[in-house]
């Protein structure tokens, strides 16, 4: 199994609806990040939540983190057609050691928002 | 402040040739990461470099792949004697510190014929 697994793999909704994506991971983390990727493009950072935080908001985005369950969720409220993209969670391990900087990505959730 | 730049954006190589992928981090960023993305998959970490030093290369294949980040100039990911399985999108990211948000480049799409 991989660090950072998202579900669902694909999500199709109508404009105006909310979209919720979940991410599970296996090891202790320093922080968890969510990224967005439009087809064929690079990744854009959306939000970072630290291991000592439980919830964070940024515009229409809300991220929660439950370290006891090793899971996170990303909620996009009032979705728009322009939100159509792949969404990835990525974990950064705890401090110390050479792995400090690298991110471990999940497989991603493909979100389609229909106008 | 220009974002992370990668070139070329598309690279076609025949089996056995060498591929050189370049990454210029954002100004002021001394931490560079390389990731590989196969079709319909997430990104897989390859290597983490900090000016002239390889910090973590645990994701790099043992043979044919190498990376550097010289004091001057871009970071280079080099793939020798490419094979069809090397076909993928290669993304570079940079950050000002060794933890936190990473800024990604547009990627280099390598196709091996």
pLDDT tens column, A69-111: 999 999 999 999 999 999 999 999 866 555 667 899 988 999 9
How far are the Cα atoms of A7, A60, A86 from residue A109, in angstroms, in the given order? 6, 18, 5
**Structure confidence at residue A99 (pLDDT):** 60
In sequence order, the β-bridge partners of residue B56 are B48
Asked whether the beta carbons of residue B104 and residue A104 sit closer than 8 angstroms, the reply is: no
Contacts of A100 in chain B (CB under 8 A): 98-99
How far are the Cα atoms of A45, A84, B63 from residue A64, in angstroms, in the given order? 16, 21, 40
Contact B98, A94 (CB under 8 A): no
**Structure confidence at residue A96 (pLDDT):** 59
- Tell whether B102 is within 8 A of chain A (Cβ): yes
Give B25-55 pLDDT, tens digit per residue: 999 999 999 999 988 778 999 999 998 899 9
Residues with Cβ within 8 Å of residue B5, at least 6 apart in sequence: B23, B24, B74, B105
């Amino acid at each position: 199994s991989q660090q950072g697994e998202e579900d669902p793999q694909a999500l199709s909704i109508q404009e105006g609806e909310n979209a919720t994506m979940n991410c599970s991971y296996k090891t202790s983390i320093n922080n968890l990040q969510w990224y967005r990727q439009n087809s064929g493009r690079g990744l854009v950072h959306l939000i970072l939540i630290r291991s000592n935080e439980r919830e964070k908001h940024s515009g229409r985005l809300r991220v929660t983190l439950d370290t006891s369950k090793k899971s996170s969720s990303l909620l996009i409220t009032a979705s728009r057609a322009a939100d159509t993209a792949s969404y990835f969670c990525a974990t950064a391990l705890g401090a110390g050691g050479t792995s400090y900087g690298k991110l471990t990505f999940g497989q991603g959730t493909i979100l389609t928002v229909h106008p | 402040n220009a974002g992370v730049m990668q070139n070329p954006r598309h690279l076609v190589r025949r089996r056995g040739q060498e591929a050189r992928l370049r990454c210029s981090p954002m100004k002021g960023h001394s931490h560079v990461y390389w990731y590989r993305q196969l079709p319909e998959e997430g990104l897989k970490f390859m290597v983490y470099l900090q000016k002239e030093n390889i910090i973590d290369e645990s994701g790099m294949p043992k043979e044919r792949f190498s990376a550097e980040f010289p004091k001057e100039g871009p970071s280079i990911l080099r793939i020798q004697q490419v094979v069809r399985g090397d076909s993928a999108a290669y993304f570079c990211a940079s950050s000002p510190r060794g933890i936190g948000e990473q800024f990604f480049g547009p990627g280099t799409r390598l196709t091996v014929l």
